[in-house]
Chain A
Amino acid sequence: MHTSWTRRRLVRATSLAAVGTLAAPYVKRAHSAGTVTLGLWDHWVPGANDRMVELANEWGAENNVDVQIDFITSVGNQNLLTAAAEARARAGHDILSHPTFQIAVHQNALEPVDDVCEALMAEYGDFADNAVYLARLDGTWRAVPTCAGSQSYPMCSRLDYFRDIAGVDLQDMFPAGPRDPEKSKDWTRANFLEHARKLHAAGHPFGDPIGQTSDSQDWLGPLFLSFGSMMADENGNITADSDETREALAYMEELVQYMPDDIYAWDDAANNRWLISGEGSTIHNPPSPWTVAKRDAPEVAANVWHHDAPAGPRGHYRGNLPYFWGLWEFSPNKSAAKDLLLHLARREQQAALVEASQGFDMPMLKSFDDFTTYVDAAPPSGTLYNYPVQGNEILTVAGWPAPPSIAANIYFQALIPNMVARVTVDNESHDDAIAWAIDELEGFMRG
């Protein structure tokens, strides 16, 4: 049978089909909103990665997005190499974890995340100054600061040694609760020298590395800043040649007399071992030695207290290495990735991550300093309370306030520890050591 299609019939049929299509229910399926891939820092605390996967998958299930996570170790700088490869290939994960100075390195390949950071700040207040310095470049947030991998460098001290040898009650000065600033006003660099002398004489010296390692920068950088010594200013002008630098060097000449002789060869784990062994009285570190001591040397752990570094004549600083989540500018699923970033950076998720890291991670939003993990940590009860800054310390990184690309050189080429070692080991004059540093700094300035 032959049927002819008239114009009227065609219009009716197509209209019916269109109405039918629009009226049909939208069937949401798992992963119908695509895939977001993450390359995150491989946490060394057992269980921390699993918690991260759970949190990300919760969001994925709610939003029908397939979330795929690879954990990339920082051992052998594999995370830096992965970031360099992905930035160059313009392909890889949507979101990648970046340590401290890497935002400046990959600035041009990172998607602005002002909307995410501003939403977080509107809800929770400001980020730590150091996070702003490292991730908000030329007025644009290039990555979201996170607790996962972020750490600060308070002092980890033996309560018993300080009480019995130096006559200092650290828990009274820095309690696990509201503090009286009057009680800690004598916790200064000058007085610390006297404590260090007594502890050294008693066979329990203060110990931290002075070398090419990360920990070396994380206690010496803030120390120099507390004397007002900066290697370069925010405009990249060299400012190392100053009375403040000479004062800091003179202080170090005195302090190293009360430290172990071999600190110039210590690696990042050496000060941890120094404290855990029971020989050391105090070091600068995140809580990892305390965590290990809880397992291997409980009598040591029960006496370890985390607290502020001494205040200097021109400021009160503490070392801090933040981690960031960066969204590649070439990511194919930016909208979903930003939503995931916002989810993971919220208070509940950050608190869960801190708990899973046993208090190692440190949130970069200032108002998150009251997480119960820090309050409840024991023994001794409340030892981690002061791991997030509770006093007037400013979180900073060696090289601050120079532009991050220059500061990265100051940090990784160990400018400050090398300058100290030239004075304290090679017996160079302050002027010679500073002249050497200036020559190095001129090299760091290249564009």
Chain B
Amino acid sequence: MSQQTGVPWRRRQRTFGRHSGLLDWFSSRSTVGVLMCLPVILIIGILVVYPFVFSIYLSMLNKPETEFVGLGNYVFLWGRETFWMVVRQSLIFTFFAVLFKVLIGLAVAHIIHHLPDRGQRLWRGLALIPWVIPPALGTLGWWWLFEPRYSAFNWLLQGMGFEAIAWLSDVFWARFAVVTVNVWYGAPFFMIMYLAALKTIPAELYDAAKVDGASPWQQFIYVTLPMMRNIIAITILFSTIVTFANFDIVRVLTQGGPRNSTHLFATYAFRVGIETGDVPLGAAVSLFMFPILAVLAYFILRNVRDRSERV
């Protein structure tokens, strides 16, 4: 047959071999995997990577966006007192908000986990309500509670014989208010994650601990916590990133006041970038924490992976 086609045997073999290789390549699992993921990779590229790279580029332009200034905007921010106040506040806000979200999420998850099965679903649903309300709307509700003149909290306090509190005009109480609303909004996410993790802990471990005479506290410290360490680390990581980037709570509740004392990166970036028209500086403000968060994410995720591999 080969003589009939008139094509030399070696050349035909090369052609056939190439087709076969291409077919093999197309039919390999990894190639199919990549091809299947291609739409998602494309979407991420357009919606995440491009804006991110563009914002880095923007942060390196001068105010009228006509000149490349390298790290000039970051150096400028480094020397501004108000910016460092924003950094300090963002750290304080994130630390306390994440801490209380973890503690409250853990406590509520335990309480719901130990409820009888019949009532659990209802309480689970109720506890999730803050998380499903749009944050701007929920914060508006809180604003009415903290409202300087007709505050519902102050009405209660004064009804009980206490002094009214200047919730949103005093620096301490304003910071307390924004952290409280963030915890109210975010704690249900922690709760549901921890509840799911609690369900996966084998009952035998608790039985064995009880046989060994462990108290409930010791069971929590030596069984529950080690089994939940990964999920706690991941929720803290995700929540830290999201909390750092919070915008709507501060925007609705205090607009960064009193005296700039509740501004976070996002609200300050919006003020500088959009309201006053200095988009490059606004981009620099919002990107300032990126390296720190990236390093934090790297170490936490590496820690989680190492522990998973050990298990």
Contact = CB atoms under 8 A, between A and B. Distances in A.
Given A211-B257, A264-B257, A443-B80, A408 B274 contact: no
A383 interface: no
Interface string A88-111: 000000000000011011101000
Interface residues of A, number: 42
A20 interface: no
Q: Which secondary structure dominates where chain B touches chain A?
A: loop
Given A84-B279, A405-B277, A439-B81, A266 B258 contact: no
A132 interface: no
Contacts of B207: none
A1 B192 CA distance: 91
Nearest to B77: A443
A182 interface: no
A413 B80 CA distance: 14
Given A261-B166, A264-B169, A418 B149 contact: no
A408 B277 contact: yes
A90 to B, nearest CB: 13
A446 interface: yes
Contacts of B278: 409, 446
A101 B149 contact: no
Nearest to A261: B166
Interface in B253-275: 254-260, 270-272, 274-275
Nearest to B255: A212
Interface in B143-189: 147-150, 166-169, 174
B72 to A, nearest CB: 9
A426 B277 contact: no
A368 B251 CA distance: 37
Contacts of A263: 148, 169
A188 B271 CA distance: 35
B169 A80 contact: no
B259 A77 contact: no
A265 interface: yes
Given A212-B256, A412-B276, A447-B63, A266 B82 contact: no
Contacts of A236: none
Contacts of A81: 274
Contacts of A105: 276-277
B148 A418 contact: no
Interface string A392-423: 00000000000001001100111000100110
A261 B168 CA distance: 12
A443 B85 CA distance: 14
Nearest to B279: A84
Q: Which secondary structure dominates where chain A touches chain B?
A: helix
B276 to A, nearest CB: 5
Interface in B228-266: 254-260
A123 interface: no
Contact of B149 (A262, A425, A440): A262
Contacts of B255: 211-213, 267
Contacts of B89: none
A97 to B, nearest CB: 16
A412 B269 CA distance: 12
B275 A408 contact: yes
B219 interface: no
Interface in A422-444: 422, 425-426, 436, 439-440, 443
Nearest to A88: B279
A76 B125 CA distance: 30
B257 A414 contact: yes
B271 A412 contact: yes
Nearest to A216: B257
Nearest to B82: A440
Given A443-B80, A447-B63, A421 B259 contact: yes
Contacts of B258: 211-212, 264-265, 421, 425
Contacts of B279: 84
B148 A270 contact: yes
B134 interface: no
Nearest to A102: B277
The CB with the most chain B CB atoms within 10 A, among A265, A270, A421, A436, is that of A265
A274 interface: yes
A426 B76 CA distance: 27
Nearest to B248: A76
B64 interface: yes
A413 B81 contact: no
A418 B257 CA distance: 9
B224 interface: no
Nearest to B281: A446
Contacts of A426: 259
8 contacts: A76-B136, A77-B274, A81-B274, A101-B276, A262-B169, A263-B148, A274-B149, A413-B276
Interface of A: 76-77, 80-81, 84, 101-102, 104-106, 108, 211-213, 260-267, 270, 273-274, 405, 408-409, 412-414, 418, 421-422, 425-426, 436, 439-440, 443, 446-447
